[in-house]
Amino acid sequence: MWAVPKPKYRNALSEEGDITVNIGGVRVVLFGDDLKRYPESRLAELSNCSAHNPELISTLCDDFDPGRNEFYFDRDPDSFKCIIDVYYFDEIHIKSGICPICFIKEMEFWKIDQSVLDECCKSYLSEKEEELKEIANKVKAILEDLDVDQCITRTQRCQRYLWRLMEKPDSSLAARIIAIASFLSILVSAVVMCVSTIPELQVKNAEGKLVEHPTMEAIETVCMLWFTTEFVLRLASSPNKVRFALSIMNIIDFMAIMPFYVVLSLTLLGTTSMMELVNVQQAVQALRIMRIARIFKLARHSSGLQTLTYALKRSLKELGLLLMYMGVGIFVFSALAYTMEQSHPETLFRSIPQSFWWAIITMTTVGYGDIYPKTTLGKCNAAVSFLCGVIAIALPIHPIINNFVVFYNKQKVLETAAKHEVELMELKSGGQARKKGQE
C-alpha cells in the first residue's frame, strides 16, 4: 500500500463520522450515526479514528484515494451489501448464491458477530459446516489410501494394504473382486437358507425327521467360512478396533456369523455330553432364525441401502406422525366397529382389542377377510376407515422420498468435491516440487 500524507485523510472523514468506502468497485456512503450502533465493527472504528492517525487507518482499510476521498477494501461487494444491513435492521440475511463459509470470513473481517445472523441462515450455515466436515473426512480417507507406501514399518504397510483390500472396492482390481465375491456369498447364503426349507429338497435322518440336505449344509459351511475369514481380516487390519467393534454394520456381520458356530457347538455338546437332545434341538431352531441377519450384510456393499437407511433416520418425525395418525384411527374405528356390530347376532367383533386387528388390516388396505362388518353402519365405518388409512399413509411419502433424493445427490456432490480437493492438493504439491527442482 502506498503512503498517504496525513492532511489528505481529513477530507475522507467528516465531522459527523460519515465515511465513503469502495468495496470491490462499489461506492457506498455510510453515516456515522448508523455505524455507531456497532462500535466494535471495523467501519465504526474507521469512522471514529482520528484523521491525524494514518497508521491506524492503514490497518483498517486496504487503500485510500485522496482525490475521491474513498477508502478502498478488496472484499466481496455482494457480501458487503448483506453485512451493512446490520446497521439498519440489526440482523443479517445471507442471500442466495453466496457461499456461507466465505460469508462468515467476511463477517469476521468486518468484525460483526455471528449472533446477528437470521435463524434460517444459521441452520443453513450449520449444514454447510457439516458438509465441509464430511468432505474433509473423505479427503482424509483418500489421502490415507494414497499414503500406503509412506507407512513407517512393514507391518503398518501390510495392515493398510489389507484394509484397503477388504474395505475399499474402488482401490484396486483385487479389492473389487473380493467385494463381488462377498456380495455373491451373501446372495448364495440367503438362497440356500430359503431353499433348504423346501420339503422336497430335504432328507430324513435316523429318526425319520426331515433335515437339511447335506449339499445345502456344505454350501452354507463354505459361505460361513468366507464370512468368518472376511470378518477376521477386516478386524485385524482395522486402524481403530474400538470404532470397528461399535459399528452397526460390523455388529450385523457378527450377528450373522455367530449363530452358525453356536449351533455347531450345541450340536457337538448334545452328542458328546449328557445334555438333553430336545433342549439342544430347540436352541438350534431358535438360533437358525438369526440367519436372516445375513441379508442385512448387503447394506455394507450397497450405497443405495445406506442412503435409504439415512433417509428413514431423517424422516423419523414424519414416521412418528404416521404412527400417531394410524394409532388414533385404529382406536377410533375399532371402537366404532365394535359398537355398531353388537346388534348383529353373528357379529365377528367380540371385543375392542380384537377389533384392533380389523382396523389395522383395513386402514393399511390389506383386508384379509377373516373379520369383517355385517351391518350397514359397520360397512360405512369400514369405508371411512379405509379412506382415512390411505390418506394417512400417503401423507409422509413425499418427505421421505425428498430426504432420500436430497441425501443421495448430496453424497454424490461431496464425493466429487473430495476428489477435486485431492486433485488440487496434488497439483499444488507438484508445483511446489517443480519450484524446488528449479531452485
Select from 27, 63, 59 the least CA-distant residue to 46: 59
Q: Which fold has domain 306-419?
A: Helix Hairpins (1.10.287)
CATH architecture assigned to 19-132? 2-Layer Sandwich (3.30)
* Residue 117: pLDDT over 80: yes
Residue 209, phi-psi category: left (phi > 0), alpha (psi -120 to 50), beta (remainder): beta
Asked if 181 contacts 226 with a C-beta cutoff of 8 angstroms, the reply is: yes
Backbone CA torsion sign across 114, 118, 124, 126: positive
**Residue 125 gets which letter from DSSP?**
H
Closest-CA residue to 329 (of 391, 401, 283): 391
Across 216-234, average pLDDT:
88
Q: What is the pLDDT of residues 326-350, one digit of tens each?
A: 999 999 999 999 999 988 888 889 8
What is the average pLDDT across 178-185? 86
pLDDT for the residue 55: 76
pLDDT at 202 over 70: yes
State in Å, rounded, how far the first CA of the chain is from the last one: 29
Percent of the chain residues past pLDDT 90, beyond the cut: 9
Side by side, the strands of the sheet bearing 63-65 are: 26-30, 19-23, 70-73, 63-65
Mean pLDDT of 188-211: 82
Instruction: State pLDDT tens for residues 44-87.
Output: 888 877 555 677 777 888 887 766 778 888 888 888 988 888 88
Q: Where are the domains of the chain?
A: 19-132, 177-301, 306-419
Contacts 24+ apart (CB under 8 A), 37-43: 37/87, 37/90, 38/86, 38/87, 38/112, 40/111, 41/110, 41/111, 41/112, 42/109, 42/110, 42/111, 43/19, 43/87, 43/110
C-alpha cell at 255: 450377528
- Does pLDDT of 355 surpass 50? yes
Is the Cα dihedral 354, 356, 359, 363 positive or negative? negative
Closest CA to 45 of 114, 140, 112: 112
214 contact partners, CB below 8 Å, separation of at least 6 = 203
Question: Which residues make Cβ contacts (< 8 Å) with residue 307, sequence separation at least 6?
Answer: 404, 407, 408, 411
- Range from 104-118, 136-150, 364-378 carrying the lowest mean pLDDT: 136-150
Q: Mean of the per-residue pLDDT values for the chain?
A: 78
How far is the C-alpha of 250 from the C-alpha of 299, rounded, in Å? Answer: 11
Q: Is 426's pLDDT higher than 80?
A: no
Average pLDDT over residues 176-200: 85
Do 423 and 143 form a contact (C-beta atoms < 8 A)?
Answer: no
Res 381: pLDDT:
92
pLDDT of residue 2: 35
The helix (H) or strand (E) run that includes residue 26 is strand 26-30
User: Do 177-301 and 19-132 have the same topology in CATH?
Assistant: no
Instruction: For residue 140, report the phi and psi dihedrals to the nearest 5 degrees.
Output: -60, -40
Q: How confident is the model at residue 383 (pLDDT cuts 50, 70, 90)?
A: very high
Distance of CA 41 to the CA centre of its chain: 38
For 177-301, which CATH superfamily applies? Voltage-gated potassium channels. Chain C (1.20.120.350)
